[in-house]
Amino acid sequence: MSGSVASNPIKVMGLDFKHPVGLAAGLDKDAKAIRGLFQMGFSHIEVGTLTPRPQPGNDKPRLYRLRKDQALINRMGFNNEGSIAASKRLVNRDKSWGVVGGNIGRNKLTANENAVEDYLLSMNHLRAVVDYFTINISSPNTPGLRDLQHEKALKRLLQKIYEENKVSDDPKPLAVKISPDLSKNEIQSISKLAVDCGFNGIIGTNTTTGRIGISINDRAIEKIGNGGLSGRPLSRHSTDVVSWIKEAVEDSTAVIGVGGVFTEQDVLDKRNAGADLVQVYTGFVYNGPSMIHDIQGAWKK
């Protein structure tokens, strides 16, 4: 099977990608649609976020379109059928389709001090059927999850994951996905820590709890309530975060840019800031499959 996108191969995290544009986690949470998504032309797909035990996520409504701003606000809350169920779907995928990443998180009811066990369980469930793992510590929709970004907790988490992965029968490249709602110093400290802990990639960024750059009024924002903002309003800041990460890690690990990617220029901006790959989500929701062909060629310019 092959998509309609021209080949522009690139090696990142030791893996071969047909071109640099992939689908960010959050759309195919349960690995139910990877074949069709690859047919649309993505070089890689992150499934999840997956947790070791199934959970329903937050109450509905939990996803809002801000059409005028080409943005989304979501508070899904890691709704998924669990990493075992996803592994059973992925076992029959054809690896020639493209690269699959397993984006994993902790269950809502798991305390942060026990979070590492959730990550390791999902890694064990998925190890044979994904090509790399992304450790999600930055969703704003699981209470307390972002506290794992604090240096002491993060070091313990990343070290344990790295050690267990290294001694497994099938070690996988490891990436960590970070929040845009941190200072430059915090982002660079996390990035350096991830490198020190042996991680192969850093994904910048997750959604933001901020509401800067959107046109709806305060009353409408209040009505929507909590959730992570994605799309065009995040584009410039996420590109800045990519440049901060690159400045901190140089060429010691891969950098994956996510946030507000809609056009060729957005791809170029991420690449010029230091991204090795880009991922899309909200742009795909608004622009549809044709955008994949439209933007992946930017890497050659």
Q: Taking the chain, what is the end-to-end CA distance rounded to the nearest angstrom? A: 27
pLDDT at residue 217, as a whole number: 84
pLDDT at residue 7, as a whole number: 63
Q: Confirm whether 218 is domain-assigned.
A: no
Q: Confirm whether 149 is domain-assigned.
A: yes
How far apart are alpha carbons 132 and 176 in whole angstroms?
11
pLDDT at residue 1, as a whole number: 44
Structural domain of 44: 10-58+78-209+233-300
Domain total of the chain: 1
* Locus of tokens 């344990």: 160
Give the mean pLDDT per block of 10 residues along the chain (301 residues). Answer: 60 96 97 96 96 96 95 95 98 96 95 93 98 90 76 90 96 96 93 96 93 86 91 96 97 97 95 97 95 83 63
Active site residues: 139
Residues 293, 286 contacting (CB under 8 angstroms): no
82 in helix, strand or coil? coil
pLDDT at residue 153, as a whole number: 84
pLDDT at residue 78, as a whole number: 94
Q: Confirm whether 128 is domain-assigned.
A: yes
Question: Minimal CA–CA distance to 59: which of 39, 79, 44?
Answer: 79
Q: Confirm whether 26 is domain-assigned.
A: yes
pLDDT at residue 2, as a whole number: 43
pLDDT at residue 52, as a whole number: 97
Q: What is the Cα 260 distance to its own chain's centre?
A: 13
Q: Confirm whether 293 is domain-assigned.
A: yes
pLDDT at residue 298, as a whole number: 76
24 in helix, strand or coil? coil
Q: Token pair of 179, please?
A: 């929040």
Q: Confirm whether 219 is domain-assigned.
A: no
CATH number, domain containing residue 257: 3.20.20.70
Q: Confirm whether 214 is domain-assigned.
A: no
pLDDT at residue 140, as a whole number: 76
Q: Confirm whether 5 is domain-assigned.
A: no
Distances 157 to 106, 148, 150, 289 between C-alpha atoms, Å: 12, 8, 10, 37
Residues ≥6 apart with Cβ < 8 Å to 180: 204, 205, 206, 207, 208, 210, 234, 237, 238, 241, 259
